[in-house]
Amino acid sequence: MDIRAWLSSPVTLQPMERQLIPTGLYMALPHGFEAQVRPRSGLAIKRGLTLVNTPGTIDSDYRGEVMIPLINLSTEAQVINDGERIAQMIVAKYEQVSWQVVDDLETTARGAGGFGHSGTH
């Protein structure tokens, strides 16, 4: 879903400035769910506006206002207006895991190969 700014007056972000933008949204997610907040591709490519951390996670026990951490990566000041779509949000179910300590891990073809070692050449 699109998330909109909830502002009493426009906010101007200078180049490289970051600011929490209020949304007026509050939610109570069920246990086992999270909300993921992501940038809007149009804002990113057209205006240089993106999120400081992405995806941002909203946990099920959070009850405060959803605030969007926008940053202006462009070379020009950018104005955010009330009602403007500033982010996207996905609500997703997650699984709790329990960790088990082991001495060795099973072997795979990739092994400990890092970035770029996905098995394709």
Instruction: Work out the average pLDDT over 82-89.
Output: 98
Give the pLDDT of residue 117: 63
CATH class for the domain made up of 2-93: mainly beta
Q: What percentage of the chain carries pLDDT values higher than 70? A: 94
The mean of the pLDDT values for the chain is 93
pLDDT class of 84 with cuts at 50, 70, 90: very high
Nearby residues of 33 by Cβ (< 8 Å), 6 or more positions away: 60, 91, 92, 93, 94
What are the domain boundaries of the chain?
A: 2-93
- Sequence-ordered list of residues with C-beta below 8 angstroms from that of 67, at least 6 positions apart, any chain: 20, 21, 22, 23
CB atoms within 10 A of CB 72: 21
Helix, coil or strand: residue 99: coil
Query: Given this model, what pLDDT does residue 121 score?
Result: 53
